[in-house]
Amino acid sequence: MTKDWKYILDQMEIESATNVKKAMKLSLFHDTALNTLSSTMPLLLPLYTRYHPLHLAFVNGYSIWESVGGGKQGDRVNMEDLLVVAKSNLVNIWMPAILVLYPKHSARFKAIFPKGLSSFNRKGIDTRIGAYNTLAMNIGSDAALATIKTAVVSTYDGLLAARSTQTGAKTNTSNTSGTLDTLRVAAMEMQYRNLGNIMDNFFEERETVCPLVFDLVTLRVNPQTVFTGNLKPSITKAALANTFVATDTMSVKVSQPCKLYLSNTIGGINSTAISVPANIKTVVDVLGFGVTDYAAFRFLTIVNEVALVNKYSITLL
């Protein structure tokens, strides 16, 4: 049986078939590049004219899909981050305060934590959420722990609300996913057709033009998601380059307070600043940078605000 010739296979459609966010990044890059370059390369204008309506339809479909919970994997990541913060408060704040009043081997401490921390460490999300409700009930009417109980109850309510949103989103996704995939395929097929046009009209310059018009990094590579490093005192540094979409988030942990910017130049600070506190995992929403042109604003800048070495870890979620 003869295999399909690889050159007649649409790599844009194939590589994004199981990753709609990847397709959106490819589309954002391609649409913006065609629009920008068509002023100096008139042969690209017809390609932009026919691609732009497909891109707009895809963006609209993607927005609807996100609004009804299509990014439920992202919801799960955010849920896990909330649990990490809750666990940090439990271990670093609440438990030490309880131990001051009730030593670890006392009957009262064992009544509050009859299973130790095992319920907070289990794999099931609902079990870990429920552990905070159990903790609040075990504290009961103990006046000495009233402040801690308030914090625990508030944490439980927040986790429960986030979980309810996540669960509800799953039931609505299937209604729009089929339509979205049709829009994705239409956009990716048109990119493939545009590639043929560019190969014909820019044959001698194809190695230069294609990377300008197509996001080849996103298309060909499994992108790096974890970025770590050290930042010298009071220094600005380009931490990473990535094609984002408005719904993207990242988890950031730093040893010293810092600010993040999303720029269209390497090391730039021409966006809204997002402050990150020290020694706690912080979830940063890309939307908070206040930019709209994600094809151009690809460079994340980190600014060390103190006269100490700053260790950072950034995970793209």
Range of the domain at 309: 224-316
Dihedral sign for Cα atoms in the order 126, 131, 136, 140: positive
For 40-68, what is the mean pLDDT?
A: 83
Domain boundary among 169, 190, 222: 222
Same domain, 250 and 287: yes
Same domain, 179 and 249: no
Same domain, 190 and 295: no
Rounded Cα distance, 109 and 148, in Å: 14
Same domain, 281 and 230: yes
Tell me, what CATH number does 237's domain have?
2.60.120
pLDDT at 226: 78
Same domain, 61 and 132: yes
pLDDT at 78: 59
Mean pLDDT of the chain: 81
For the chain, the 3-state helix, strand and coil shares in percent, each to the nearest 5, are 60, 15, 25
Rounded Cα distance, 149 and 120, in Å: 16
Residue 274, strand partner residues: 260
Residue 173 reports pLDDT greater than 70: no
Residue 284 reports pLDDT greater than 90: no
For 135-163, what is the mean pLDDT?
A: 87
Reading the block at residue 77, the tokens are: 């990541």
Residue 76 reports pLDDT greater than 70: no
How many domains does the structure of the chain reveal?
A: 2
What is the arrangement of strands in the sheet containing 299-304, beginning at the earlier edge strand?
A: 236-241, 299-304, 258-263, 274-276
Rounded Cα distance, 131 and 119, in Å: 6
Grade residue 102 by pLDDT with cuts at 50, 70 and 90: very high
Same domain, 118 and 264: no
Q: Residue 42 half-sphere exposure, CB side, CA atoms within 13 Å?
A: 0
For 296-301, what is the mean pLDDT?
A: 83
pLDDT at 112: 93
Same domain, 216 and 254: no
pLDDT at 74: 46
Looking at per-residue confidence, does 80 or 177 come out higher? 80
Residue 170 reports pLDDT greater than 70: no
Grade residue 86 by pLDDT with cuts at 50, 70 and 90: confident
pLDDT tens-digit profile of 123-147? Answer: 678 888 888 999 999 999 999 999 8
State residue 311 phi and psi, 5-degree precision. -95, 130
Domain boundary among 172, 192, 222: 222
Q: What percent of the chain has pLDDT over 90?
A: 14
Same domain, 85 and 198: yes
Same domain, 16 and 162: yes
Q: In which residue are the tokens 């990044």 written?
A: 25
Question: Cβ-count burial of 80 within 10 angstroms (0-12 exposed, 13-18 middle, 19+ buried)?
Answer: middle
pLDDT at 171: 45
Reading the block at residue 225, the tokens are: 């998601």
Rounded Cα distance, 311 and 295, in Å: 28
Same domain, 12 and 98: yes
CB-based contacts of 166: which residues, under 8 Å, 6+ apart?
Answer: 69, 72, 75, 76, 79
Same domain, 80 and 106: yes
Grade residue 307 by pLDDT with cuts at 50, 70 and 90: confident
Same domain, 113 and 217: yes
Q: Which of 6-20, 128-142, 177-191, 196-210 has the lowest mean pLDDT?
A: 6-20
pLDDT at 61: 80
Hey, which of 77-81, 91-95, 140-144, 207-211 has the most confident mean pLDDT? 140-144
Total-model pTM: 0.48
Domain boundary among 222, 241, 269: 222
pLDDT at 77: 45
pLDDT tens-digit profile of 199-253? Answer: 888 888 888 888 888 888 777 766 667 788 788 877 777 778 877 777 778 888 8
